[in-house]
Amino acid sequence: MKPTVQHTTERTTAADAIDRFVRTRQRTFAALGQVSDADLERVHSPLLSPIVWDLAHIGAFADLWLAEVLGRPLLREDLAVTYDAGETPRAGRGALELLDHAGARDYLARVDDALFAALHTLDFSPDAKDPLLRNGFLIDLLVEHEEQHRETILQTLHLAEPGVHVAGPPAAWAGTTPPGPLMVDVPTGQPQLGAHRGFAYDNEQPRYVAAVPGFRIDRTPVTVGAYREFIDDGGYRDARHWSPEGWAWRQQEGAERPLYWQADGTIRRFDRIEAPTADAPVMNVSWFEADAYARWRGVRLPTEIEWETAARLDATTGITRTQPWGEDPVSRARANIDGEALGALPPSAAGAAPCGALGMIGDVWEWTSSPLQAYPGFRAFPYPEYSEIFFDGPYRVLRGGSWATAACCARSTFRNWDHPQRRQIFAGFRCAADL
């Protein structure tokens, strides 16, 4: 059986691919803003790498796959282990001998030159013999990989001490949340879940039909104002609202509020201290905090199947949409994505799902109750280390993308995952309940 290889466009040309790579790299460098070389090269948190590691890793990842399809040696064999995410855990990367900022950029440029030259010689047609090339799979893989690291770089900059600057002020967002109910109904249905066209990772496949009993789900992600009610009601001091593991984490961390929330009620957004926007989604909360809030409210977190059903299934027609709003591509007209807002903002009706839920793409990754598991019929491609080694572990699934997620990654089938205690992700949540 051939691996399922999906793609973004009907036919990929070298010129189109180079343009995508160039625009992606411009976005990566733009995310660095006014960050000094010293701040790019130091460890801001043991949770994340020095930013120069991410930059050189982007090059090493592309070099690895280019060597694979060309059958040639790596450009820098000596860097292979240092910039292999599986070989070098995040907590230890700051102790490695890394390329400095100038060295990382030079390495990226060398890899780009080799990649751009190869693009004119490789067969990206639907009938290509190599599944890594078929329908431009390799191009999509490298672009999405870099975009995911750009979001990680923004997480690192957010964790940095105040004084590490990002580029410019937040961009304006025209979205406003219309009035409506707290929760909306999602009737019993049989959605076709998983990816069926366009580029997708192996864990998003294969597509399958699920029988989903009816449920209710929050119309918007839980807001700053709503979460503050949980805090004011003593939510962080009452063990009854927490799972045993969550309560142990809260005590160990001394957590009293979401990450970046200040004791005086303000919130730090990168190097700015701001008054909170009450109707914006709460952000930078762990799965444990999301679960505790849901218990306090007498509801629960949705499963990832429920989340995707709410985002995609049109119960009136029985059609499973590609995105909540239909078949139109992801754009900032529909969702707060691409990193320009530098934070989560109130969702608008422009991205409404068939059930009436808003903001299911962009703003904040949304925690679900589900552990990361393989879909029925899963096959690892192009390598087990992307998904398979993480299945059936401690990880919880997040859905929907965040304000920092690139449009190409902000799809309703994308599955993110992390440990339940993590808060550096731009993550929030919404609640669900049985009908």
Radius of gyration of the chain (CA): 21
Q: Determine contact, residues 339/377, Cβ cutoff 8 Å.
A: no
Structure confidence at residue 10 (pLDDT): 47
- What's the CA gap between 300 and 11, in Å, rounded? 44
- What's the CA gap between 367 and 395, in Å, rounded? 11
Angle 363-171-32 from CA coordinates, rounded to 5°: 85
Strand order in the sheet with 432-434: 183-186, 215-218, 432-434
Structure confidence at residue 281 (pLDDT): 97
Q: Determine contact, residues 54/146, Cβ cutoff 8 Å.
A: no
Structure confidence at residue 174 (pLDDT): 66
Q: Look-up: residue for tokens 């499963």?
A: 303
Alpha helices in 46-170 (DSSP H): 51-70, 101-119, 137-159
Instruction: Enter the DSSP assignment of 171.
Output: P
- What's the CA gap between 197 and 8, in Å, rounded? 8
Structure token digits, residue 177: 């949340």
Phi, psi of 201 (to 5 degrees): -80, 165
Q: Give the domains, in start order, of the chain with CATH numbers.
A: 14-159 (1.20.120.450), 183-434 (3.90.1580.10)
- What's the CA gap between 335 and 363, in Å, rounded? 7
- What's the CA gap between 174 and 156, in Å, rounded? 27
Contact partners, residue 365, CB within 8 Å, separation at least 6: 398, 399, 400, 401, 402, 405, 416, 425, 426, 427, 428
Structure confidence at residue 228 (pLDDT): 97
Q: Determine contact, residues 128/139, Cβ cutoff 8 Å.
A: no
Q: Look-up: residue for tokens 């990842």?
A: 61
280 by Cβ neighbours in 10 Å (0-12 / 13-18 / 19+) ranks as buried
Question: Reduced to 3 states, what is the DSSP secondary structure of residue 261?
Answer: strand
End-to-end alpha carbon distance in the chain: 41
Structure confidence at residue 34 (pLDDT): 85
- What's the CA gap between 324 and 203, in Å, rounded? 20
Phi, psi of 294 (to 5 degrees): -60, -40
Structure confidence at residue 6 (pLDDT): 47
Instruction: Enter the DSSP assignment of 406.
Output: -
Structure confidence at residue 376 (pLDDT): 95
pLDDT one-digit tens code per residue, 15-49: 999 999 999 999 999 999 889 999 999 999 999 99
* Residue ranges of the chain with per-residue pLDDT less than 50: 1-10
Q: Determine contact, residues 132/6, Cβ cutoff 8 Å.
A: no
- What's the CA gap between 219 and 182, in Å, rounded? 6
- What's the CA gap between 223 and 232, in Å, rounded? 14
Single-letter amino acid, residue 94: G
Chain centroid to Cα 7, Å, comes to 19
